[in-house]
Amino acid sequence: MFDYRKIVRWTCGCVLAGGYLFAQFPKSVPDRLVFLRVGQGDCTLIQYHGRSMLVDCGPANDQTNGAERLVVPELYRLGVRQLDWIFMTHPDADHVGGLGVLYARFQVDKIGIPKCFQSNPDMQQALLDAEVPTERVEWLGERAWIQKDELKIELRTLNESPTGEDNDGSLFARVQMGGSTAVMSGDASAYVEEMVQSRAHWTAQVVKLGHHGSRTSTSPQWLDSLHPEVAIISVGRNNSYGHPAKGVVESCLERRIQVMRTDQDGTLEFHPGPNGFQLLNKRIRS
């Protein structure tokens, strides 16, 4: 389905069972992939030829608003003034809680959500609280993608969670900028990671470990099939969940995969290069 009103800035197509999302990007900021330090939650920024997209929004709940304190200042620092897409992997508050703040602070063109959450009350409440018009939302089926020049973002999801758990309906994303590749899997379990990989057959230099490094995600088979060099864990300092799991970290290290954590290393900014993503700047905050 094409949004002709935005054809000058962003021409997109999305077919729920397998879609194509196409963008026109003016150049203004560096091409980069940034894993933001947001506490116990997730928010990843993709910038290409001046356009900006997010995978997840950072956390917000009754006690704290990580999106207000952490995500918004970082996005301003990185030159973001408009968000062409926000992709929300699943309805957990540490992934979608920041939607209201982001929608109020930035012009947001489109929000992409797995179709299996179309009737999910938590996802619907997040959209309602943020006052997102229905025409801004694209409900994504099993496969969709964005492609322009050397950028390709492939999006995968299941039509429904095979376990009935929201985590297992998570949106998967593979980002490719030339020869630089990265994969994200929301909070999906190891079982679903392997299901998606059996269809996608992805490899990636960088992988953001699923579910903040939880023991329920990141099987040895997932790592062996992706062959990553770097594993990113988006996690809060001294979190009550015990993330990341010791066994998951050890599984990465046994495979000589470099492990980087947002609670220890801060925001992690990667730029594409001839030999893959290069870590440009490691921001460490107290």
Mean local confidence (pLDDT), 242-251: 95
Whether 94 is in a domain gets the answer: yes
Residue 195's pLDDT band (boundaries 50, 70, 90)? very high
Q: What pLDDT, on a 0 to 100 scale, did the predictor assign at position 151?
A: 96
Whether 9 is in a domain gets the answer: no
Task: Give the number of C-alpha atoms closer than 13 A to the C-alpha of residue 58, restricted to the C-beta side.
Answer: 27
Whether 2 is in a domain gets the answer: no
CATH classification at residue 213: 3.60.15.10
Number of structural domains the chain divides into: 1
Whole-number average pLDDT of the chain: 89
Task: Convert the pLDDT of each residue in 159-187 to its tens digit.
Answer: 889 999 999 999 999 999 999 999 999 99
Q: How large a percentage of the chain has pLDDT more than 90?
A: 79
SS3 (DSSP) at 31: coil
- pLDDT > 70? residue 30: yes
Q: What pLDDT, on a 0 to 100 scale, did the predictor assign at position 282?
A: 52
- Alpha carbons 119 and 146: distance in angstroms, whole number: 25
H or E stretch covering 127: helix 121-129
Q: Which residues of 204-238 are buried (b: 16+ CB within 10 A; e: fewer)?
A: bbbbbbbbbbbebbbbeebbebbebebbbbbbbee
Does residue 206 contact residue 182 with C-beta atoms inside 8 Å?
A: yes
Whether 110 is in a domain gets the answer: yes
Residue 67's pLDDT band (boundaries 50, 70, 90)? confident
pTM: 0.89
Mean local confidence (pLDDT), 120-131: 96
Q: Who's near 13: CB < 8 A, 6+ residues apart?
A: 1, 2, 19, 20, 21, 22
Whether 19 is in a domain gets the answer: no
The closest alpha carbon to 58, from 13, 10, 118, 106, belongs to 106
Q: What pLDDT, on a 0 to 100 scale, did the predictor assign at position 19?
A: 54
Task: Convert the pLDDT of each residue in 208-239 to its tens digit.
Answer: 999 999 999 999 999 999 999 999 999 999 88
- State the pairing for strand pair 180-184/172-177: antiparallel
Whether 251 is in a domain gets the answer: yes
Whether 5 is in a domain gets the answer: no
- Alpha carbons 48 and 175: distance in angstroms, whole number: 11
Q: What pLDDT, on a 0 to 100 scale, did the predictor assign at position 98?
A: 95
The closest alpha carbon to 105, from 71, 149, 135, belongs to 71
- pLDDT > 70? residue 243: yes
Provide the residue type at 112 as one letter.
G
DSSP assignment of 204-248, as one string?
-SEEEPGGGG-TTS--HHHHHHH--SEEEE---TT-TT-PSPHHH
Q: What pLDDT, on a 0 to 100 scale, did the predictor assign at position 129?
A: 95
Residue 5's pLDDT band (boundaries 50, 70, 90)? very low
Does residue 235 contact residue 213 with C-beta atoms inside 8 Å?
A: yes
Residue 13's pLDDT band (boundaries 50, 70, 90)? very low
Provide the residue type at 25 as one letter.
F
Whether 199 is in a domain gets the answer: yes
Q: What pLDDT, on a 0 to 100 scale, did the predictor assign at position 21?
A: 56
For residue 150, give its domain range.
28-282
Q: Who's near 259: CB < 8 A, 6+ residues apart?
A: 230, 231, 233, 249, 252, 253
Angle at 29 between CA 24 and CA 32, to 5 degrees: 90
Q: What pLDDT, on a 0 to 100 scale, did the predictor assign at position 281?
A: 60
- pLDDT > 70? residue 268: yes
- What is the token pair recorded at 121? 């009350």
DSSP assignment of 96-122, as one string?
HTTHHHHHHHSEEEEEEEEGGGTT-HH
